[in-house]
Chains A and B, each alone.
With several copies, the nearest count.
Chain A
Amino acid sequence: MTINTLFFGVVMDITGLRKAALTLEKEMTIREFQEYLLEKYPGLIDINNFAFAVNESYVKDDFKIQDKDVVAIIPPVSGG
């Protein structure tokens, strides 16, 4: 399945990308996707922690990603 992944802030700097269409070989939870990301972009290990949003809403670690989902990696926010 293919998911659209969005990168922001420090994560964008580390990956060098604003977005990427990633092809996953199996269904994944957010937890599994995070491990997959850390393998693909080892620099992410330096980040404080990050959250995930699927289709513009925060999701938990056990959320199952679906085909065509838009998955955003949310590094620590600092608005305001």
Chain B
Amino acid sequence: MEDRISVLLTPKKLNQQKCYDFVQDASCGGIVTFTGTVRNHTSGKEVKQLEFSAYTSMAVKELIKIAERALKRFDILKIALHHAEGLLQVGDIPVIIAVSSSHRKAAFEACEYAINTLKETVPIWKKEFFEDGEVWVNAHP
């Protein structure tokens, strides 16, 4: 199963072509990709930059779990989950999920499952920086 999974948590810039090339295969008919991008606003406030920090060793394990579950649950071929750490600017890419499959429906479902689950379970934390301060997202009621 391992040769069908690519997981990465890196302070470097994420590379879409790398994710695509990993999942692409002569036997697959389609590739669905979700690419997160840093937005310039949150609830009407202008975002200057973001910082992602992670419990790195556990985050990598959780990313692998998501990939393994996606491979079991959906009829897909390969899956890549790449996430960035550190400072990101507006327009930068915090996350890429790419899924290849013979059946596009399965690829859409697996990709959406993976990003939804990543946002629920992977120990990564986002701090948003505004003109007048900074805040850990989701931290307070």
Residue of B nearest to A56 (CB): B58
**Interface SS of chain B:** mixed
Complex CA–CA separation, A56 to B141 (angstroms): 26
Complex CA–CA separation, A58 to B141 (angstroms): 22
Which listed residue, B122, B139, B140, touches A79 by the CB 8 Å rule? B122
A interface, size bucket: 20 to 34
B interface, size bucket: 20 to 34
Pair B123/A77 contact, Cβ less than 8 Å: yes
With contact pairs A8-B55, A56-B57 given, residues A78 and B138 touching in the complex (Cβ less than 8 Å): yes
Residue of A nearest to B85 (CB): A79
Is A1's CB within 8 Å of the partner chain B? no
| Residues in chain A within 8 A of chain B (CB atoms) | 6, 8-10, 13, 46-48, 53, 56-58, 72, 74-80
| Residues in chain B within 8 A of chain A (CB atoms) | 36, 52-55, 57-59, 61, 83, 94-95, 115, 118-127, 136-141
